[in-house]
């Protein structure tokens, strides 16, 4: 988390103190580092530079227009999963010929919208979808480029709710069905099957699932080519892990070292769809303590003004985020993992919770932090991916604002929602 660091007992982002931002914006507030986003994008680019690679930033991880624009300016393409995400990618200045469209339920309207904008290709997830793409493209007298999203039945050893490449998952096409598609691919007159796609889940903390998937894909590509279907693009999806605990995790170069030999053997152009790796540790969520509360059983709660509607990951996936006061003279432990939480002297064991009326509205359970008082600020780290983009206004809570820090300056890149925003579009009849 190099862009976020403590200096003189206060948390900074690049050259700006978090206190300074909060005094203007209030809380809760998402704060991103431009430098962190760019350096992570470039780290990936370097890791895959030996082969022809298109990096398509996964818009679902952070769909803020400014963030997407920064990446578009750096040469990134986009991975979208809805008409709305495609709209965002285009608004942010994304190059259509670098946009890939995944998702199991693309509607005809979305397919048409994508074809009108001449996107790079569709990642197709079923025969039914392929037939719809063929029909819609036919009506428009266009040919749609497609990659078959293969479900290789491989366990990516991630959370059950974020595993996507096992046979029981709704995603992708298994290899047997994919073979039948390849056999009749040429009969789809308005579709050009020229790629294969695989996305196994997220975050993946080992290269093995990628390698195991690629072993299967290599054999399949050879079969495709024998049938006269020239597979030129290999989309290896996203899922690259980040450290949520401070522990060392594998890096893009570790992935690419093992992935590239397959790619070279298959002589394909690579597409990769990172989201979390670029945005995750490039952002934090800052919240204020509203109350401290203790029950007669000795349980202590820190109730803060951010909640599960602002950052859903802990409630949805039991996800671990480091949380530490913005202003403190106690250093945050280098590593803090769910089972390694130490209550050192001067610290308290608390549950850090939000105000939403759900028992799952808990950011951290039994977490040791320095004591905090009403009005103190807490930073929730690693919140740049699947943070704001998953937020909602549940409990009629206006969503937070988003700030981008660029060296010693910061910018509001999304305004805080107002009560009026909450009811915009509603009519009383």
Ligand X SMILES: Cc1ncc(COP(=O)(O)O)c(C=O)c1O
Residues classed as catalytic: 357
Count of residues near ligand X by CB under 6 A: 18
Q: Does 275 bind ligand X (CB under 6 A)?
A: yes
Residue 240 interacts with ligand X (CB under 6 A): yes or no: yes
Decide: is 85 part of the binding site for ligand X (CB under 6 A).
no
Cβ at position 56, least distance to ligand X in Å: 8
Residues 369-428 that bind ligand X (CB under 6 A): 385
Long-range CB contacts for residues 228-231, cutoff 8 Å, separation at least 24: 228/186, 229/182, 229/185, 229/186, 229/193, 229/194, 230/194, 231/193, 231/194, 231/195, 231/196, 231/266, 231/268
Nearest CB to ligand X, comparing residues 61 and 309: 61
Question: What is the nearest approach in angstroms of ligand X to the Cβ of residue 276?
Answer: 4
**289-318 mask for ligand X (x: CB under 6 A)?**
------------------------------
Q: Which is nearer to ligand X, 220 or 240 (CB)?
A: 240
How does DSSP classify residue 135?
H
Residue (27 or 61) nearer to ligand X, CB: 61
Four-CA torsion 385, 245, 284, 372, nearest 10 degrees: 150
The answer to the question of residue 77 lying near ligand X (CB under 6 A) is: no
By CB under 6 A, residue 195 contacts ligand X: no
Asked whether 144 and 137 are in contact (CB, 8 A), the reply is yes
Residue from 4, 122, 188, 277 that binds ligand X (CB under 6 A)?
Answer: 277
Residues 315-354 that bind ligand X (CB under 6 A): none
Prior bond of 324 cis (ω within 30°): no
- Side-chain-facing half-sphere of 111: CA atoms under 13 Å: 29
Return the range that interacts with ligand X (CB under 6 A); candidates 53-61, 83-91, 287-295, 405-413.
53-61
Binding residue (CB under 6 A) for ligand X from 25, 27, 53, 58: 58
The nearer residue to ligand X, 79 or 361, going by C-beta atoms, is 79
Cα angle, residue 114 at apex, residues 143 and 151 outer, rounded to 5°: 80
Shortest Cβ 311–ligand X spacing (Å): 15
Angle between helices 175-183 and 208-226 (to 10 degrees): 20
292 DSSP β-pair partners = 302
**CB nearer to ligand X: pick between 28 and 387:** 387
| Residue 324: Cβ-neighbour burial (10 angstroms; 0-12, 13-18, 19+) | buried
Binding mask 197-216 for ligand X (x = CB under 6 A): --x--xx-------------
Q: Say if strands 401-406 and 300-304 run parallel, antiparallel, or are unpaired.
A: unpaired
Q: Give the residue, chosen from 40, 276, 321, 399, that forms a contact with ligand X under the rule CB under 6 A.
A: 276
Instruction: Between 103 and 354, name the residue whose CB sits nearer to ligand X.
Output: 103
Which residues between 112 and 131 bind ligand X (CB under 6 A)?
none
Judge whether 62 and 284 are in contact, CB under 8 Å.
Answer: no
Residue located via tokens 């919770």: 353
The number of CA neighbours under 13 Å toward the Cβ of 407 is: 0
- Using the rule CB under 6 A, give the single segment among 196-204, 226-234, 260-268, 421-429 that binds ligand X: 196-204
Residues that bind ligand X in the complex, under the rule CB under 6 A: 58, 60-61, 79, 102, 199, 202-203, 237-240, 273-277, 385
């Amino acid at each position: 988390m190099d862009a976020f660091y403590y200096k003189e007992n206060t948390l900074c982002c690049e050259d700006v103190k978090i206190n300074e931002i909060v005094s203007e914006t209030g809380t809760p507030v998402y704060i991103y580092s431009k430098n962190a986003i760019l350096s992570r994008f470039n780290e990936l680019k370097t890791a895959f530079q030996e082969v022809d690679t298109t990096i398509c930033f996964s818009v679902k991880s952070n769909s803020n227009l400014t963030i997407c624009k920064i990446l578009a300016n750096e040469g990134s393409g986009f991975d979208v999963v809805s008409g709305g995400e495609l709209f965002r990618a285009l608004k942010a200045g994304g190059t259509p010929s670098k946009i890939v469209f995944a998702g199991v339920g693309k509607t005809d309207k979305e397919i048409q919208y994508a074809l009108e904008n001449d996107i790079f290709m569709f990642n197709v997830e079923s025969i039914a979808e392929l037939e719809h793409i063929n029909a819609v493209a036919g009506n428009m007298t266009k040919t749609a480029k497609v990659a078959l999203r293969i479900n290789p039945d491989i366990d990516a050893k991630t959370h059950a709710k974020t595993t996507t490449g096992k046979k029981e998952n709704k995603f992708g096409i298994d290899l047997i069905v994919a073979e039948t598609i390849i056999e009749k691919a040429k009969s789809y007159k308005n579709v050009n099957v020229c790629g294969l796609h695989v996305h196994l889940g997220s975050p993946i903390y080992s290269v093995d699932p990628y390698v195991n998937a690629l072993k299967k894909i290599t054999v399949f590509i050879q079969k495709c080519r024998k049938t006269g279907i020239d597979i030129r693009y290999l989309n290896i999806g996203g899922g690259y892990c980040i450290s949520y605990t401070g522990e060392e995790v594998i890096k893009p170069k570790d992935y690419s070292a093992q992935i590239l030999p397959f790619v070279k053997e298959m002589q394909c152009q690579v597409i990769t769809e990172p989201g979390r790796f670029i945005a995750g540790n490039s952002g934090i969520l800052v919240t204020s303590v509203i109350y401290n509360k203790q029950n007669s059983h000795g349980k202590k709660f820190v109730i803060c003004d951010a909640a599960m509607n602002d950052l859903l990951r802990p409630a949805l996936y039991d996800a671990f985020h480091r949380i530490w006061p913005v202003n403190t003279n106690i250093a945050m432990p280098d590593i803090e993992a769910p089972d390694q939480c130490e209550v050192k002297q001067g610290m308290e064991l608390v549950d850090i919770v939000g105000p939403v009326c759900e028992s799952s509205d808990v950011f951290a359970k039994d977490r040791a932090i320095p004591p905090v008082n009403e009005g103190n600020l807490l930073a929730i780290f690693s919140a740049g991916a699947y943070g704001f983009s998953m937020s909602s206004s549940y409990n009629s809570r206006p969503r937070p604002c988003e700030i981008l820090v660029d060296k010693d300056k910061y910018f509001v890149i999304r305004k805080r929602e107002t009560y009026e925003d909450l009811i915009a579009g509603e009519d009383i009849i």
